[in-house]
């Protein structure tokens, strides 16, 4: 065992660099460069606040990703529970001392930048559950104790996040957790039963929703109900995307965003601006870029020798996929508006930090894909 | 081994389940691409339109009204450049300072300043406030000189309605002014084209022809942001001026009418006896419609409103008068047509006539002696007409009078203020007053007094229809797209082929049973003007070119008491309100007649003294302009 460890530790820096997944790396770089240009467009074709900040964050977090990648995957395995616990503590801290903004309390001031721990939880929960399912015997996966433990791991952070309140992030955390449960071998019937239970209890859940959340659902069902109020965002977003056409209106020429018709164009609706300016071709291109990233992550998972790395990569690939699907469905009017950023593209430090750490761990898994973890 | 086995099994489970997820991912991504395709490719047009609708806002500018011209193409209602002063609050540095400066420069009232402040609070900061709608040229120059000091002020040149002949056409054209809410709601076209500052017709033809005159808005397209602020101008679409309307009126004659009735209350109408073209239609006194364009001042309005000569009433169409003796041609005609009398029929006038203990006086106290129709018309003998009316009866008289257009609107629905007037009969009295007809009422109807009420234009048309040989004319004031020349009209009347060969219609056009009777009336009217002892003999013109035939009338406005009759007061001695209305109807030239006219001077005294002399002055002008008018007839055809 020791020898094994020593052997893996003997990988030199040169080998590490050589073993990085360059297709994934190039895709992430491409996406980052694209995101800076789009951010430049949201600033009205000038290098202003958002463009600068976004660029600075990329400049800090991209090296961080490489830094994370150079740690052995075993290190991340060993620290998974602790990382999860730290993020839970941060969530508790935020729920008491967090910064409030537009009605919700989800941020903490780290002097250099404002951190949103719930974004980190998106990664932490995958790590934590991956480790749990890595260690548990397959026979015990469906035992009562194990189900209780994994559900607690999911539900505890969700309680904090939902009370911030932040429905979008809590849904993403829940989905990221559930996918590990699925991959870990939990019985399919449990998923079916709980899905049915969910459907039955849906009316009760809705009755617990905040009025603005109910309004969002109603608005989603009929955006024209209140075109200047709640439905405004969906309608304007659809107009922007639809008017983009095949080739788009051209870089810096998206009238909807230039004339301020688009809400939150830096964050959740960044795709709308992109799609208006680059059209169907650009949008599909962006989707292909994302697909390449997801595919590479899945592939790294598939070649990993340890189930922790495998579960993490598969889980993280699914999480990225879900972020994209939820965000695009929202701006395309297929889902109600829930705040969810588009990975890398959207303005927002915590989301980018979490995404980059995720990529870093995936790259670490690639570098150490032969690593066995007991 | 067990452990490793378990590990392998676990890896299998993970891989298998990942495969399912992978397939699901592909499906979902395809779904998203499909959605993108439907929005960006299939519905691209729809969303492009919506996007343009978002970003492009149109500003409508007031439309330019169509011109109204007279028969000769002179503009009688046109458009004029006016200078306005706008403030754009957004650009003003110090609003109060600016207002103080403007107040001094333009002598603005405190009320006006308060109004500007109110507007500023109501409007968006980039919407302009109109400080002054109509600056004089000197004010405009002054503002331009101080412009460096007046930041945020914009001198603007725009277009406004203008009536170059001031009060000459007021009662024909009416005027324009800002519409009220109801007027906007009632008319869809106005509603659609309304912009603040736009003016609409309030009266007369301006109102009636609103939909033709209004024109279309010029449109400026701007790109705006989500808050409605203009970012840049995209294009300017010119509006179309409203239709040009050509009237049948002659400005020279209309102006002359105004002069002839100067400082008198009354009306003059002149009509082409064949085509029905109204050559002039003047109601006196008039007022200046230009005063209403920018809001009339209270003082000026009170001056017009309280004028005892009632300038606001269009006397030609809405003034109701007893026709007095001007009805006599119709009475005589009716009697001839019904064969109650013939030319040899004579009545002895002793100055009065007794009937059932009531005395009916002739205007000539001594009486006219034995008079025939011609003499009775010539000297306007009342006794003769009492007797004729008695023999004829009011019902038969009524039929003839209505045939000639009395008791009916002349211009149909062109003027909503036009009155129908009234020509009574026994049935009317029974239905409306609930009492039986009294023979005495027939007698006074025979001299145009009593219930009978006519408008000046009705009398003019009646005269025209006698003058043209007894054919119906359709009076009109607008040159339509099928103007019938006077020759055609005349010929078709005389050959009995007016407008259509349809015999029933022809029957409607023919107002007589025997055209000889018309001729007799014409001759009697000729005598009345051109033979000694005729009531308008003094106003005759001997030159056959201008010679006209007419009939005077003097309408009592109150019953003359016995004492007053004995006093025989001079006009000046009677209070204005009690003086008789002077009337005169005539047509000319006597040979080959072309024009008919009616003149009314309210409280002017006798028709022969106050009204007939006006005809003499007017006929010269009308006939002198006759050739000009004929040449003009193919001038320009305008569709209304």
Find the CATH number of the domain harbouring B232. 3.90.1310.10
Q: What is the pLDDT of residues B190-214, one digit of tens each?
A: 888 888 778 899 999 999 999 999 9
**d(Cα B556, Cα B579) in Å, to the nearest integer?**
8
Measured CA to CA, the distance from residue B36 to residue B231 in angstroms comes to 30
Is residue B36, in this structure, part of any structural domain at all? no
Q: For residues B212-240, give the mean pLDDT.
A: 83
H/E element holding A47? Answer: none
How are strands ordered across the β-sheet holding A99-101?
A99-101, A104-109, A114-115
Asked if the structure places residue B37 within a domain, the reply is no
The predicted pLDDT at position A351 comes to 93
The residue from B246, B272, B296 where one domain ends is B246
Mean pLDDT of A225-232: 66
Cα distance between residue B597 and residue B583, in whole Å: 11
Burial of A252 (0-12, 13-18, 19+ CB in 10 A): middle
At B277, give phi and psi (nearest 5°).
-60, 130
Whole-number Å distance between alpha carbons of B333 and B331: 5
Question: Looking at residue B496, what is its pLDDT?
Answer: 58
What is the rounded CA–CA span in Å between residue A172 and residue A315?
A: 12
Q: What is the mean pLDDT of residues A152-166?
A: 91
Number of domains in chain B: 2
- In chain A, residues with a C-beta closer than 8 Å to the C-beta of B225 are 258-261
How far is Cα A176 from Cα B129, in angstroms, rounded to an integer? 59
Yes or no: say if B549 and B354 are a contact pair by the CB < 8 Å rule: no
The pLDDT of residue B441: 92
Q: Is B329 helix (H, G, I), strand (E, B) or coil?
A: helix
**If contacts are CB pairs under 8 Å, which of residues 225-244 in chain A contact chain B?**
236, 238-244
Check whether residue B64 and residue B145 sit in a common domain.
yes
Across the interface, of A284, A294, A325, the residue whose CB is closest to B36 is A284
Specify whether B444 is located in the same domain as B483. yes
CA–CA separation, B282 and B296 (whole Å): 23
B466 and B352 together in one domain: yes
Is the per-residue pLDDT at B6 higher than 70? Answer: no
- In a mutagenesis test of the A interface, which of B2, B20, B28, B29 is the best target, namely the one with the most A β-carbons within 10 Å? B29
| Domain match, B462 and B373 both | yes
- Give, in order, the Cα–Cα distances in Å from A326 to each of A206, B86, B579: 19, 52, 95
CATH at B448: 3.40.710.10
What b/e readout covers B344-358, taking b as 16+ CB neighbours within 10 angstroms?
Answer: ebbbebebebeeeee
Give the domain extent around B343: 251-285+315-632
Query: In this structure, are B336 and B479 located in the same domain?
Result: yes
List all residues 6 or more positions away from B323 whose beta carbon is below 8 Å from its beta carbon. B448, B452, B454, B459, B553, B555, B583
Residue B25 lies in a domain: no
CB contact under 8 A, B40 and A275: yes
pLDDT at B120 over 50: yes
pLDDT bin (cut points 50, 70, 90) of residue A235 is confident
Q: Which of A138, A238, A287 sits opposite B47 (nearest CB)?
A: A238
Does the beta-carbon distance from B226 to A261 stay under 8 Å? yes
Domain identity same for B256 and B224: no
Average pLDDT of the residues of chain B: 87
Q: Are residues B366 and B488 in the same domain?
A: yes
Q: What is the 3-state secondary structure (H, E, C) of B275-322?
A: CCEEEEEEEECCCCHHHHCCCCCHHHHHHHHCCCCCCCCCHHHHCCEC
Residue B637 has pLDDT above 70, yes or no: no
Interface of B with A (CB under 8 A): 6-7, 9-11, 13-15, 17-18, 21-22, 25, 28-29, 32-33, 35-37, 39-41, 43-44, 46-48, 50-51, 54-55, 223-227, 231
Q: How far is B231 from chain A (nearest CA, A)?
A: 9
What is the C-alpha to C-alpha distance for residues A77 and A132, in angstroms, rounded to an integer?
10
**Quick one: tokens of A105?**
């309390």
Q: Does A142 touch chain B (CB under 8 A)?
A: no
Q: With contacts defined as CB-CB under 8 Å, which chain A residues touch B33?
A: 284, 287
Predicted confidence at residue B164, as pLDDT, reads 93
Range of lowest pLDDT (A4-13, A82-91, B581-590): A4-13
Contacts of A179 in chain B (CB under 8 A): 21
* Cα A296 from Cα A21, distance rounded (Å): 8
Q: Is residue B13 part of a domain?
A: no
Answer yes or no: do B343 and B454 share one domain. Answer: yes
Task: For A51-96, write each residue's pLDDT tens digit.
Answer: 999 999 999 999 999 999 999 999 999 999 999 999 999 999 999 9
Indicate if the pLDDT at residue B146 is higher than 80: yes
- pLDDT at B97 (0 to 100): 86
| B82 and B120 belong to one structural domain | yes
pLDDT at A6 over 70: no
Percent of chain A with pLDDT over 70: 94
Mean pLDDT of B34-47: 93
pLDDT beyond 60 at A36: yes
Domain annotation covers residue B426 = yes
Q: What is the pTM of this model?
A: 0.66
Residues B129 and B260 in one domain: no
- Position B113 scores a pLDDT of 85
Instruction: Return d(Cα B464, Cα B583) in angstroms, integer.
Output: 16
Residue where one domain finishes, among candidates B188, B222, B246 = B246
Residue by residue, DSSP assigns A179-232 as: HHHHHTT--HHHHHHHHHHHHHHHHHHHHHS-HHHHHHHHHHH-GGGSTTTTTH
Centroid of chain to Cα B510: 29
Tell me how far apart the alpha carbons of residues B526 and B535 are, in angstroms, rounded to a whole number.
Answer: 11
Burial tier of B531 (Cβ tally within 10 Å: 0-12, 13-18, 19+):
middle
Could you tell me the end-to-end alpha-carbon distance of chain A, in angstroms, rounded to an integer? Answer: 9
pLDDT (0 to 100) of residue B617:
92
Contact between A8 and A283 under an 8 Å Cβ cutoff? The reply is: no
* Sequence-distant (≥ 6) Cβ neighbours of residue B568 within 8 angstroms: none
Q: Which of 300-319 (A) contact B at CB < 8 A?
A: 301-302, 307, 310-311, 314, 318
B230 & B360 share domain: no
What's the average model confidence in pLDDT over B584-592?
92
- Of the residues B195, B218, B246, which one is the last residue of a structural domain? B246
Tell me the HSE value of B238 on the side-chain side, using a 13 A CA sphere.
3
> Nearest by CB to A243, which of B21, B28, B51?
B51
Give a yes or no: residue B391 inside a domain: yes
Residues B185 and B210 in one domain: yes
Domain assignment present for B45:
no
């Amino acid at each position: 065992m020791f020898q094994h460890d020593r052997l893996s530790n003997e990988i030199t820096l040169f080998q590490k660099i050589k073993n990085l997944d360059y297709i994934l790396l190039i895709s992430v770089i491409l996406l980052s460069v694209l995101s800076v240009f789009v951010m430049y467009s949201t600033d009205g074709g000038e290098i202003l606040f958002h463009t600068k900040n976004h660029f600075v964050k990329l400049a800090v977090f991209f090296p961080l990703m490489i830094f994370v990648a150079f740690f052995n995957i075993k290190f991340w395995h060993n620290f998974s529970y602790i990382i999860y616990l730290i993020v839970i503590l941060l969530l508790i801290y935020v729920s008491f001392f967090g910064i409030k903004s537009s009605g919700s309390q989800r941020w903490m001031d780290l002097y250099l930048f404002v951190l949103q721990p719930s974004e980190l939880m998106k990664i932490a929960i995958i790590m934590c559950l991956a480790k749990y399912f890595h260690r548990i015997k397959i026979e015990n996966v469906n035992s009562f104790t194990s189900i209780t433990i994994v559900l607690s791991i999911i539900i505890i952070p969700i309680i904090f996040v939902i009370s911030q309140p932040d429905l979008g992030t809590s849904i993403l955390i829940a989905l990221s957790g559930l996918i590990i449960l699925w991959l870990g071998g939990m019985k399919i019937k449990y998923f079916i039963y709980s899905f049915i239970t969910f459907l039955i209890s849906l009316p009760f859940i809705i009755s617990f929703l905040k009025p603005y959340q109910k309004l969002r659902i109603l608005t989603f069902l009929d955006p024209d109900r209140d075109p200047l109020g709640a439905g405004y965002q969906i309608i304007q977003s659809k107009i922007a995307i639809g008017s983009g056409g095949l080739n788009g209106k051209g870089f810096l020429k998206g009238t909807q965003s230039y004339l301020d018709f688009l809400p939150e164009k830096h964050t959740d609706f960044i795709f709308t601006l992109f799609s208006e300016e680059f059209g169907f071709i650009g949008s599909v291109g962006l989707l292909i870029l994302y697909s390449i990233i997801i595919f590479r992550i899945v592939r790294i998972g598939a070649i990993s020798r340890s189930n922790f790395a495998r579960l993490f990569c598969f889980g993280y690939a699914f999480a990225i996929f879900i972020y994209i699907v939820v965000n695009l469905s929202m701006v395309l009017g297929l889902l109600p508006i829930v705040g969810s950023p588009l990975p890398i593209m959207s303005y927002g430090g915590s989301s980018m930090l979490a995404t980059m750490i995720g990529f870093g761990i995936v790259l670490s898994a690639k570098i150490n894909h032969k690593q066995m973890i007991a | 081994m067990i452990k490793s086995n378990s590990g392998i099994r676990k890896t299998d489970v993970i891989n298998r389940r990942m495969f399912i997820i992978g397939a699901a991912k592909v499906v979902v991504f395809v779904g998203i691409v499909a959605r993108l395709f439907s929005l960006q490719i299939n519905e691209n047009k729809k969303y492009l339109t919506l996007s343009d609708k978002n970003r492009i806002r149109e500003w409508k500018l007031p439309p330019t009204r169509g011109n109204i011209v007279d028969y000769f193409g002179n503009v009688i209602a046109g458009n004029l450049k006016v200078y306005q002063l706008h403030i754009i609050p957004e650009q003003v540095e110090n609003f109060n300072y600016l207002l103080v400066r403007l107040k001094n420069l333009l002598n603005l009232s405190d009320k006006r300043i308060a109004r500007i402040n109110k507007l500023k609070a109501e409007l968006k900061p980039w919407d302009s406030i109109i400080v002054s709608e109509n600056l004089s040229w000197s004010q405009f120059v002054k503002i331009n000189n101080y412009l460096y000091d007046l930041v945020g002020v914009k001198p603007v040149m725009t277009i406004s309605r203008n009536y170059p002949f001031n009060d000459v056409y007021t009662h024909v054209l009416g005027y324009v002014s800002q519409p009220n809410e109801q007027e906007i709601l009632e008319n869809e076209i106005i509603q659609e084209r309304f912009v603040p500052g736009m003016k609409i017709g309030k009266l007369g033809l301006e109102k009636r022809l609103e939909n033709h005159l209004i024109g279309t808005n010029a449109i400026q397209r701007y790109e705006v942001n989500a808050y409605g602020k203009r970012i840049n101008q995209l294009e300017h679409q010119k509006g179309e001026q409203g239709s040009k309307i050509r009237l049948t009126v002659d400005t020279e004659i209309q102006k002359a009418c105004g002069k002839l009735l100067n400082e008198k209350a009354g009306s003059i109408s002149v009509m082409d006896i064949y085509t029905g073209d109204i050559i002039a239609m003047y109601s006196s006194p008039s007022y200046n419609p230009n005063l209403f364009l920018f809001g009339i001042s209270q003082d000026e309005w009170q001056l017009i409103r309280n004028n005892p000569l009632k300038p606001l009433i269009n006397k030609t169409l809405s003034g109701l008068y007893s026709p007095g003796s001007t009805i006599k041609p119709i009475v005589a005609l009716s009697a001839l047509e019904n064969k109650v009398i013939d030319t040899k029929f004579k009545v002895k006038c002793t100055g009065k006539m007794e009937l059932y203990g009531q005395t009916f006086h002739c205007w000539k106290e001594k009486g006219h002696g034995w008079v025939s129709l011609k003499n009775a018309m010539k000297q306007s003998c009342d006794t003769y007409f009492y007797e004729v009316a008695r023999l004829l009866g009011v019902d038969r008289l009524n039929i003839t009078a209505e045939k000639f257009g009395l008791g009916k609107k002349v211009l149909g629905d062109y003027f909503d203020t036009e009155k129908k007037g009234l020509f009574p009969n026994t049935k009317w009295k029974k239905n409306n007053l609930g009492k039986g007809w009294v023979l005495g009422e027939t007698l006074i109807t025979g001299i145009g007094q009593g219930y009978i009420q006519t408008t000046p234009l009705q009398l003019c048309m009646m005269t025209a229809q006698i003058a043209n040989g007894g054919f119906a004319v359709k009076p009109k004031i607008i040159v339509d797209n099928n103007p019938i020349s006077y020759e055609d009209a005349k010929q078709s009347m005389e050959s009995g082929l007016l407008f259509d060969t349809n015999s029933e219609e022809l029957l409607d056009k023919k107002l007589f049973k025997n055209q000889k009777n018309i001729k007799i009336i014409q001759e009697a009217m000729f005598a009345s003007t051109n033979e000694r002892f005729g009531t308008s003999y003094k106003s005759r013109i001997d030159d056959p070119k201008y010679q006209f035939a007419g009939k005077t009338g003097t309408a009592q406005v109150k019953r003359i008491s016995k004492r007053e009759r004995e006093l025989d007061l001079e006009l000046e001695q009677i209070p204005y309100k009690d003086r008789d209305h002077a009337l005169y109807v005539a047509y000319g030239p006597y040979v080959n007649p072309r024009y008919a006219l009616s003149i009314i001077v309210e409280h002017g005294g006798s028709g022969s003294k106050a009204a007939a002399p006006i005809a003499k002055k007017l006929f010269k002008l009308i006939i002198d302009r006759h050739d000009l008018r004929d040449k003009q007839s193919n001038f320009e055809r305008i569709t209304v």
